[in-house]
A and B are shown apart, each in its own frame.
Chain A
């Protein structure tokens, strides 16, 4: 059997980014796909569209997970929202009110077990996050967001992290709407897509903490992707003792 190296595959994948394609080939239909959700009356990504593709690129480069390098957009009121279990809802201002068909679409998405990442592109103002919470409360009225404990699996699905990172410092914690142990909606108030977005060969937005903070933002993105793909795999008993030791080492 001919073995392709991961780097050559990555190169081919990057090339394919110029030729947007649908689902893809064998093994790719079940690859991670950070789709951007369009929902609400107003939504402005302000140059963060490339963040999703970069997210996939970093995931493929750093991990064994396959990912779609051409991130698509999906509307909340379209059936294809339920084609895959992950979507990102980002914006920098109040989204307005979701239409009833959008509420129904998101309800179906969550009912199947989908995970929605809510990324506030302007966490300094917080208007998007507040409106997203308000509208999601219409979709999931019985489950208010809760703060995830620092020991939550999302902080250790691939990298060991101590807090969320992004373009902005945020509140220092991730919140989520949970069903049982599994998150349905994850709120990251750090403008994660902003830290990942590119313009040509350069990063689209400055990050106050420099490369270190951006690297940590990428690591959080990788962790979130692994959480989508593996759910609470790293909470399995077989990993626990080993991770406990490594965490203790990091604290020292």
Chain B
């Protein structure tokens, strides 16, 4: 039991300061009075000082505090690095195991202390059990964020912090000045002891860093800075580097290649220019070939996702003859500022007689079919083939290239007309394989019967047609004839069907269908009368806006505009090879039914895609666990009910950026310890960290006033009265 004196606990700091100031002023005035009046003012001064003293005591009301306290071990927070980097091999074990052993040694060495063990990686640290570590938590080792969270936390402040890591921290950065580093790690105001879990530097060649200059934009060259490094005594001279794009159903496309010339240096940087032609998430891998002896082959390859933006949709519109249907489509495309249109219309055939002496009187140029479909084809985001005969205009020889173009991510729309589909020589052609419908070899390539297309069940909920349906409901103009189409391909969606015609299989003939083909998408429209939505008595109802609504939806879907996707898919957290990945699927309003999620690796493979089915909640999103996967690129196709599928590509890495630099960083841990007043040790000396002094914890506390408050007030009032009398006697006011 200990006892001490104090003041009443209800007296605030502000009151103390204000009272102190007033009393000091009064005391000074008394001294001035004494000096001016000499001995005659002695009693006045004496009574005044006494009155001031008693007044102060009446205000402060002294108390006696009796307390009973005990000593407990100091509170220590141990921060154990839980980034994915700790899964790196360390001899026959891993850094994660080394960290766990070091943490146990620290706990043993500070047996008297109250130790909280937290794991840190990205964001705030979380409690960690050293007996069951659980999965790692991310690519980063953000010590600054972890210390910041500790300083913001309420409750008892720790007396010391112990950091257990390999030192290759994301924050604080390695090259900070002492003042800046002190500021970052000194916020808590306690010593930070650091424990280096390993001193082993594995022999390793790695893709250490990838940097891009600016954002990735479709068709625009993008400078990719690649740092290739060798460490741990591995001898590297020249390492080949290749950048490839992973595509569905296609072998990886080499975008660029080069050689990193290390010649004994620890690292070399090379800049490669790549051009991604397709917008949206594109999966790119950067691969180097390491020399023998590389202990960490996983970081020889980085697989990253580029979210490629598109400035404008670059579209090639090729029409076999000018018609009102061509006119409407061209006018709409030209009016859309987001479309960069390149158009070629066949205005004259060999059978036509222009009545000229020579071609110089004509404003016609030869159809550059070879140039367009070889050299320039990859530069287009989409191609519209409208009523053009593939045989007559030598397009047939380029159909294999057009098929590859679609499979590599391009968009294709075939618009109906007498020379489209079977009437244009596309039946059994390579292009038919990427259309959403079969053409077959019909006896009649087109039919002359008038009809009004009918919405299918899918068409009623498909986002690409929602804007049109909002304007004209399910009404459509009468069409004069239709191309003959076969059944829809597996995975394709039919939005409009013919009310009278049927396929060979007996089902209604598709009129408007869309589907995926490899990385690309295609649309088949078996009529040449959608211009009736732009200009006709029917079009008057909407002032022609229905045409734009239809084509906005079709082109938007073709270009994977999220507005026209039936669902949205994203990774709930980064995909790590070997662990389950979480895909979050959000359905759009209007779509309903069961979710079918099909995940398959990008590239050419025989592997059976994994299929997951789950009921979609009425609102919100659904997280589906898929995998685990091997390192690579993957494509997820989510389909809610009968709506068209939505595609989402993602990358899975074993180590990712966390494994890009395998060297432990002892120097950084040492600086952190030194600048915060802590101690740096290696794993072997983890048990020898200094123990912080124990903390005194009060268990009993009693506060007793020395004199009751009213007594202090009475005595002070008497003293003030005496002082007033003395002043009157001395003739003072």
- List residues of A whose CB falls within 8 A of some B CB: 1, 5-7, 23-32, 61-66, 79-80, 82-85, 108, 111-114, 156-160, 182, 215, 218, 226, 228-234, 236, 238-239, 242-243, 246, 249-250
Tell me the complex Cα distance, A235–B423, Å: 30
Q: Is B531's beta carbon under 8 Å from chain A? A: yes
Contact check, A249 vs B324: say whether CB atoms are below 8 A apart.
no
List, in ascending order, chain A residues with CB within 8 A of B540's CB. 79, 82, 108, 112
- Are A230 and B536 in touch, CB under 8 angstroms? no
Residue B131 is within 8 A (CB to CB) of chain A in the complex: no
- Tally B residues with Cβ within 8 Å of A: 57
Question: What sequence of 0s and 1s flags, for each residue 524-536 of chain B, a beta carbon within 8 Å of any chain A beta carbon?
Answer: 0000110100111
Q: How far is the CA of A82 from the CA of B540 in the complex (A)?
A: 8
Of A30, A85, A230, most B-chain CB atoms within 10 Å: A30
Pair A23/B480 contact, Cβ less than 8 Å: yes
Is B656 interfacial (CB 8 A cutoff)?
A: no
B534 with A113: CB separation less than 8 A: yes
Which residue of A23, A61, A112, A215 is within 8 Å of B539 (Cβ)? Answer: A112
Closest to B479 in A: A29
A-B contact pairs, 5 of them (CB 8 A): A26-B418, A64-B346, A85-B327, A113-B331, A159-B363
Check A112/B324 contact, CB under 8 A, given A27-B418, A30-B531: no
Please, how many angstroms separate the alpha-carbon atoms of A80 and B538 in the complex?
A: 10
The answer to whether A80 touches B334 (Cβ under 8 A) is no
Task: Tell me whether A30 and B343 are in contact (CB under 8 A).
Answer: no
Given A26-B446, A250-B360, A242 contacting B480 (CB threshold 8 A): no
Residue of B nearest to A241 (CB): B365
Chain B residues within 8 Å of A250, by CB:
360-361
Chain B positions within 8 Å of A, measured between CB atoms, are 320-327, 330-331, 334, 341-349, 351-356, 360-365, 387, 417-418, 422-423, 425, 445-448, 479-482, 528-529, 531, 534-537, 539-540, 543-544
**In the bound complex, how far is the Cα of B364 from the Cα of A182, in angstroms?**
21
- Measured CB to CB, the closest approach of chain A to B445, in angstroms, equals 6
CB-defined contacts of B330 to chain A, threshold 8 Å: 230-231, 233
Asked if A83 and B536 sit within 8 Å, CB to CB, the answer is yes
Measured between beta carbons, the chain A residues less than 8 angstroms from B343 are 233, 236, 238
Q: Is the CB of B327 within 8 A of A64?
A: no
Chain B CB within 10 A, most for which of A64, A114, A232 = A64
**A84-B324, A160-B363 known; A79-B537 Cβ under 8 A:** yes
- The interface residues of chain A lying within 8 Å CB-to-CB of B536 are 82-84
Whether B327 and A230, one on each chain, are in contact in the complex, defined by CB atoms closer than 8 angstroms, is yes
Knowing A82-B536, A112-B543, A226-B322 are in contact, say whether A62-B448 is a contact too (CB < 8 A): no
Residue contact B347 to A64, C-beta cutoff 8 Å: yes
Q: Which residues of B have CB within 8 Å of A249? A: 360
Residue of A nearest to B344 (CB): A238
Q: How far is the CA of A85 from the CA of B445 in the complex (A)?
A: 28
> Smallest distance from the beta carbon of B544 to chain A beta carbons, Å?
5
B345 touches A156 (CB 8 A): no
Could you say which of B327, B364, B479 contacts A229, with CB atoms under 8 Å apart?
B327
Pairwise interchain contact B324-A30, C-beta atoms closer than 8 A = yes
Q: Report the nearest A residue to B359, measured CB to CB.
A: A246
**Smallest beta-carbon distance B363→chain A, Å:** 4
Interface pair B363/A31, CB less than 8 Å apart: no
Q: Contacts of A232 on B, CB cut-off 8 Å? A: 334
- B323 touching A66, Cβ below 8 Å: yes
**Known interface pairs A27-B418, A29-B480; A62-B354 also in contact (CB < 8 Å):** yes
Looking across the interface, which residue of chain A has its beta carbon closest to that of B450?
A: A23
User: In the complex, A85→B362 CA distance in Å?
Assistant: 25
Partner of B352, one of A63, A82, A108: A63
Nearest chain B CB to A69's CB is how many angstroms away? 15
- Bound complex: CA A151 to CA B354 (Å): 22
Closest to B332 in A: A113
CB contacts (< 8 Å) of B344 on chain A: these are 238
Across chains A and B, which 6 residue pairs bring their CB atoms closest together, nearest first?
A26-B481, A6-B351, A229-B322, A29-B480, A30-B323, A30-B324
A226–B347 CB distance below 8 A: yes
Residues of A contacting B364 with CB < 8 Å? 158
Distance (whole angstroms) from the CB of A108 to the closest CB of chain B: 6
Question: In the complex, A157 Cα to B363 Cα: how many Å?
Answer: 7
Interface-central residue, A25, A32, A61, A234, by most chain B CB under 10 Å: A25
Could you tell me the distance between the alpha carbons of A250 and B356 in the complex, rounded to whole angstroms? 14
